[in-house]
Amino acid sequence: MDYRTVLTTCTYCGCGCNFYLEVLDGQIIDTIPCKTHPVNEGKLCIKGWNVHEFVQSPRRLTRPLIRKDGVLTETTWDEALDCTALKLKEIKEAHGSDSIAFLTSAKVTNEENYLLQKFARAGVGTNSVDHCARL
Amino acid sequence: MIDKVKERVKALLTSGEIRGFLGLSNKYGNTGPHLFCDPADLDGLVVGDWQDPGDARYTLNKQLIHLARNYPDDRFGVLVRGCDERGLKVLYTWNQLNPEKVVPVGIACPQALAEACECPKPYPDEPVAGEKTEGCPAESVARMDALNVAGRFDEWLKEFSKCIKCYGCRDVCPMCFCKECTLEDDTLVGSGGIPPEIPMFHLTRAVHMVGRCIDCGLCNEACPADIPLRTLYKKAADIIDEEFHYRPGQELYAKSPFNILMQPSETG
């Protein structure tokens, strides 16, 4: 028997609520909001309460996919990044920097959001940066 | 207080009487549930007093059910306060836990916590630590009862309208062990959208707490909108006590009024 309660931070949004994931023999079985954490003080929203259900979902993407001949095909990160970089360059050369926009996420860290806007502005040359939390 | 608890748990683990002890631990800079299997780990054991007495209480009985369902042949110890012990009695009665496989280690709550909880019995029958203090009257219920019916209804509608429908009151509840929940049955309560149906959502839950709620107050503490759910369930429990002379967790194997109402002889 291997029973653990593992403190972690919710990935659903940028609030940073903390909870314990209840792990029994390697399976996450429940979410327990942390009462002593200053961000959420033992409370969660409906998404946070159900984190244990999505973490192990068989429908989760675990590898990058590239559409080849109309079919989404599993690939390596190297190939996926090369493909993305090549396509972005092609679009920029053919239609200009402002033909590309970047949409960042509330589910990543502040630092990752910073990196993405930096890449958009300094790398690609566009100010078209938005964020899913504004939608 | 904590030394007496540690001493008792150490004895239980060392003798092999229990496979593990479900208690609370200070780890990662916070207090949370923890299963102690090794007597050498007991240094981290705490009773859940973070800034105030008992402000870091958790639904240990709920976690105990998870363990018992997966390891039904093993015996576990569990940290209990008065409310948790009421919970165990109801869970034994509803066959959710086997009393032969549970060893409660009880602590009595200090007066300040008993008053904050308006707890009717802030101690388990046989605490290993802490002094038994007097039960406290439910002043929150009396304040609500002082309003006339229309005023009371308005007050509750105002409270319910704050709800963000997180289901936290249900998810945290140590007595919510059903596999299918009425709050997710679209024929009774609309699911999958907000805001919740007011007051249907909350009153449906209140009815389902009848004969179940052991007045631990964890729903109040989990509610992001600060809805005083505990007051609502206390009132429902008062009505059942008046009508059927039953209060959940007071007596082991006492039948809930729901069981009495469903007796075939009475329903014909």
Contact B174, B88 (CB under 8 A): no
Q: How many residues does chain B have?
A: 268
B147-154: average pLDDT: 96
User: What does the DSSP 8-state code read for residue A44?
Assistant: -
Per-residue exposure over B148-173, b if at least 16 CB sit within 10 Å of its own CB, e if not: eeeeeeeebeebbeebbbbbbbbbbb
- Phi then psi for residue B239, to 5 deg, are -60, -45
Pair (A112, A75) in one structural domain: yes
Set of chain B residues whose Cβ sits within 8 Å of the Cβ of A4: 35
Helix (H) or strand (E) holding B140, with range, is: helix B139-145
Contact A66, A73 (CB under 8 A): yes
Determine the residue among B166, B181, B227 to mutate to test chain A binding: the one whose Cβ has the most chain A Cβ atoms within 10 Å: B166
Pair (A18, A74) in one structural domain: no
Structure tokens at B80: 């209990």
CA distance A104 to B173: 37
A26-36: average pLDDT: 97
Residue with token string 């165990």? B88
Q: Do A3 and B67 touch (CB under 8 A)?
A: yes
pLDDT single digits (tens) B95-107 = 999 999 999 999 9
What does the angle CA A8 – CA A14 – CA A18 come to, to the nearest 5 degrees?
Answer: 25
pLDDT single digits (tens) B28-55 = 899 999 999 999 999 999 999 999 999 9
Residue A13: pLDDT band with limits 50, 70, 90: confident
Whether A76 is in a domain gets the answer yes
What single string gives the DSSP state of each residue in A49-100? HTHHHHHT-TTS--S-EEEETTEEEE--HHHHHHHHHHHHHHHHHHH-GGG-
- Cβ burial, residue A67 (10 Å; 0-12/13-18/19+): exposed
Pair (A93, A128) in one structural domain: yes
B18-26: average pLDDT: 97
User: A34: domain CATH number?
Assistant: 2.20.25.90
Is it the case that residue B116 has pLDDT exceeding 90? yes
- Cβ burial, residue B267 (10 Å; 0-12/13-18/19+): exposed
Pair (A76, A129) in one structural domain: yes
pLDDT single digits (tens) B63-74 = 999 999 999 999
* Per-residue model confidence (pLDDT) at position B2: 93
Is it the case that residue A134 has pLDDT exceeding 70? no
Is it the case that residue B268 has pLDDT exceeding 60? no
Contact B84, B101 (CB under 8 A): no
Q: How many domains does chain A have?
A: 2
Q: Do A29 and B171 touch (CB under 8 A)?
A: no
pLDDT single digits (tens) A80-122 = 999 999 999 999 999 999 999 999 988 887 888 999 999 999 9
Whether chain A has a CB inside 8 Å of the CB on B217: the answer is no
* Per-residue model confidence (pLDDT) at position A74: 96
User: What does the DSSP 8-state code read for residue B101?
Assistant: G
Set of chain A residues whose Cβ sits within 8 Å of the Cβ of B167: 46, 49
Is it the case that residue B265 has pLDDT exceeding 80? no
Q: Give the N- to C-terminal CA distance of chain A in Å, as an integer.
A: 45
Pair (A84, A130) in one structural domain: yes
Cα nearest neighbour of A35 on chain B: B56
Structure tokens at B257: 């009024």
Pair (A50, A70) in one structural domain: no
Name the percent of chain B lying above pLDDT 90.
85
Report the C-alpha dihedral over residues A47, A50, A52, A58, rounded to 10 degrees.
Answer: -80
User: What does the DSSP 8-state code read for residue A120?
Assistant: I
* Per-residue model confidence (pLDDT) at position B74: 98
Nearest to B23 by CA among B75, B69, B60: B60
* Beta-strand pair A27-33/A18-24: antiparallel
Whether A60 is in a domain gets the answer no
Q: 72-131 in A: which are within 8 Å (CB) of B?
A: none
Whether chain B has a CB inside 8 Å of the CB on A36: the answer is yes
Whether A109 is in a domain gets the answer yes
Set of chain B residues whose Cβ sits within 8 Å of the Cβ of A35: 30-32, 50, 55-58, 221
User: Range of A120's domain?
Assistant: 65-134
CA distance A86 to A109: 26
Pair (A69, A128) in one structural domain: yes
* Cα A56 from chain centre: 15
Is it the case that residue B262 has pLDDT exceeding 80? no
Residues facing residue A30 across a β-bridge:
A22
User: What does the DSSP 8-state code read for residue B36?
Assistant: E
* Per-residue model confidence (pLDDT) at position B263: 62
Q: What does pLDDT average to over chain B?
A: 93
Of A19, A36, A55, at which residue does a domain stop? Answer: A55
CA distance A44 to A17: 7
Distance from CA of B255 to the nearest CA of A (A): 30
CA distance B79 to B141: 29
Nearest to A101 by CA among A64, A66, A132, A56: A132
Q: Do B50 and A36 touch (CB under 8 A)?
A: yes
